[in-house]
Amino acid sequence: MYGLSALTGIAVGRVLSAAEWLPASWLRVFVFLAVAGYPLALTAAWIRARREPSAEPAHGREVNTMPRSGWGALGFAALVAAAWIGLRGPGEAGPAGGASVSEPEPRVVVLPLLDLDRRADRTFADGVTDLLVDGLAGVEGLEVRGRVSAASFVDVNRDATTVGARLGGAAVVDGTVRRMPAGVRLSVRLLDTKTGAAVWTLSVDTTFGGLYGLRDEVVSGVAGALGLTVGERTLRRLERRRAPTDALDLYMLGRFRWAARIDGDLAEAISYYHLAIEADSGFTAAWTALAEGYAALPRFTRFPPRSAREYGAAAARTALQLDPDAAGAHTALGEILYVYEHDWEGARAHLQRAVELDPGDAAPRDRLCELELVRGDLPAAREACREARRRDPLAYRPGWLEAGIARAAGDVAASLRRLDSLVAAYPDFEPLAGERAVTHLLLADSAGTEADLAAWFALLAPASLADSLAATLAAARADGLAGLEVRAALARVADDLNPDPVQLAALMAQFGEEERAARMSAEALENRAPAALGLGVFPEFRRLRARADVTRALVAAGLPVS
């Protein structure tokens, strides 16, 4: 019975692990415990048999004190079979003759190419990596995962088995690139994440204008090694996503600036995208990137949301006219529709289309998570967020959204734990410090609130003003951070530094400045500020939601009022 139970449990665990509901490591632990527990089970059976009275009359007949050998052998055989199944791993068949990777739904991770010139910036290497990701993402039946997370492996720990275990890929695309005066030297290999062995390689020199041909060769080679066929639809997509050399160079410069996503870099990225479009008005990738840039700009800068909506939507729709199957353009337009137009159904349709076109990309799923969260559908938000994290485990946005889901559900402590891990990974990202300060306030943690506010002020303000604000906080400590000094400090931040108005409103409401906080929140909703989307669900805004002006603004936006 023990062996058959272990066989059943491990078989179920293997199915769950293959579906990524359980980490593969848990399955191995269960196998170890099952094998180690077998002698204990035999001992327990022997002790029970000794203690149980015989059901037959005792006529000098010896009582059996051990399980019958046939059943014991059957149980042992079942246990051996269970161990073999479990240790074999979910779906593991191994590459046939070392030539291919066997995977029911092939998943690859593309690591950032190493720049052999060791340039101070990675503009060219990241640009070529982006070309490969974009090309592979169009192969039907292939998921390209870990697009944000892969950046964690730029210079360290590029071992394929480690990358596969952390990011969930069956194979890893790795390689090097060098930009030479007369052209480009590219070396790429496909590695099996179970064995670390190379199953396909390519090394070639070409001109800069030949990069798209190289991309197509990589796409064809990787797809073939994974047992996939590059069909006519993929070939047409690759052809549509070509651009002249000068436009591609400008686009690469923009993508490199975009990766930083901080004020000047983001605005500069948008400028490069405009220049790339001037060089080639049919450059779909540049139009898509431009839409993404405008969608993000009000989140990271004080760029007017209404302008972002106008320019971003126009860029996304142009991209979709050029290529109706441009998944990134669907994602960008979906985000613009729910953030800046409050068109929930239209946004959901575009985001779901993006998921269909590019199932390995986490971006449309984490946007769906945010949409469902601000609409108050927490189960749907959790599911979308879970799917986003499966596809990009180290990405920033799913973690932030998970913190929001926990807070909206009333589990403030869990929200704080998630924010703590994010702050450790992104210590200079100003919105995190403000959000963590709000969370500490909800937990009535004065010391944590003071520390977070001081960190927030330091990221927002010039050094002299930050020191002054920190001194104000220290002076207010005797009042439990509820005194007039803190109100004055927050008012000074509002007047002089122009931070995120919604986050500031949440802090001011907690410190008793409800009148000004409510006015700021209602204005933010009317102006379509991205952070205002959470006003209907997060507990820090509960007092504000009770006010008539905020309630009216929430109802007009189609957001929940609870």
Among candidate residues 338, 354, 370, the one where a domain is terminated: 354
Same domain? For 84 and 124 the reply is no
Structurally, the chain folds into a number of domains equal to 3
CA dist., res. 129 & res. 111, Å (int)? 8
pLDDT band with cut points at 50, 70 and 90 for residue 61: very low
Same domain? For 304 and 349 the reply is yes
Same domain? For 84 and 102 the reply is no
Same domain? For 102 and 211 the reply is yes
For the domain that residue 318 is a member of, what is the CATH number? 1.25.40.10
Q: What is the pLDDT of residue 496?
A: 61
Residue 146, φ and ψ in degrees, nearest 5: 60, 40
DSSP designation for 528: T
Q: Which residues contact 304 (CB under 8 A, 6 or more apart)?
A: 298, 527
Same domain? For 211 and 147 the reply is yes
Among candidate residues 354, 372, 406, the one where a domain is terminated: 354
Helix (H) or strand (E) holding 17: helix 2-18
Q: What is the pLDDT of residue 90?
A: 38
pLDDT at position 372 over 50 = yes
Q: What is the pTM of this model?
A: 0.77
Instruction: Tell me, yes or no, whether 523 lies in a domain.
Output: no
Same domain? For 46 and 183 the reply is no
Same domain? For 124 and 80 the reply is no
Same domain? For 198 and 227 the reply is yes
CA distances from 458 to 248, 263, 300 (A): 39, 17, 17
Same domain? For 225 and 308 the reply is no
Q: What is the pLDDT of residue 435?
A: 83
CA distances from 380 to 157, 348, 387 (A): 35, 12, 11
Q: What is the mean pLDDT of residues 152-169?
A: 84
Instruction: Tell me, yes or no, whether 269 lies in a domain.
Output: yes
CA angle 555/557/558 to nearest 5° reads 65
Same domain? For 30 and 118 the reply is no
513-527: pLDDT as tens digits: 788 888 888 888 888
CA dist., res. 141 & res. 274, Å (int)? 33
CA dist., res. 264 & res. 249, Å (int)? 20
Q: What is the pLDDT of residue 169?
A: 82
Cβ–Cβ < 8 Å for 559, 536: yes
Q: What is the pLDDT of residue 56?
A: 42
Instruction: Tell me, yes or no, whether 22 lies in a domain.
Output: yes
Instruction: Tell me, yes or no, whether 461 lies in a domain.
Output: no
Strands 107-110 and 171-180 turn out to be parallel
Same domain? For 149 and 122 the reply is yes
Of 110-119, 188-197, 271-280, give the range with the top mean pLDDT.
271-280
Q: What is the pLDDT of residue 401?
A: 94
Residue 134, φ and ψ in degrees, nearest 5: -65, -40
pLDDT band with cut points at 50, 70 and 90 for residue 216: very high
Instruction: Tell me, yes or no, whether 283 lies in a domain.
Output: yes
262-314: pLDDT as tens digits: 656 888 999 999 999 999 999 999 999 999 999 999 888 878 999 999 999 99
Q: Mapping DSSP to helix (H, G, I), strand (E, B) and coil, where does residue 93 land?
A: coil
CA dist., res. 87 & res. 358, Å (int)? 32
Q: What is the pLDDT of residue 64?
A: 41
Q: Which domain holds residue 270?
A: 247-354
pLDDT band with cut points at 50, 70 and 90 for residue 70: low
Same domain? For 83 and 141 the reply is no
CA angle 311/315/319 to nearest 5° reads 170
pLDDT at position 359 over 60 = yes
Instruction: Tell me, yes or no, whether 543 lies in a domain.
Output: no
For the domain that residue 190 is a member of, what is the CATH number? 3.40.50.10070
423-464: pLDDT as tens digits: 888 887 777 877 888 888 788 776 777 777 777 777 766 666
Reading the block at residue 391, the tokens are 């596809």
Q: What is the mean pLDDT of the chain?
A: 80
Q: What is the pLDDT of residue 473?
A: 61
Instruction: Tell me, yes or no, whether 545 lies in a domain.
Output: no
Among candidate residues 354, 369, 400, the one where a domain is terminated: 354
Instruction: Tell me, yes or no, whether 448 lies in a domain.
Output: no
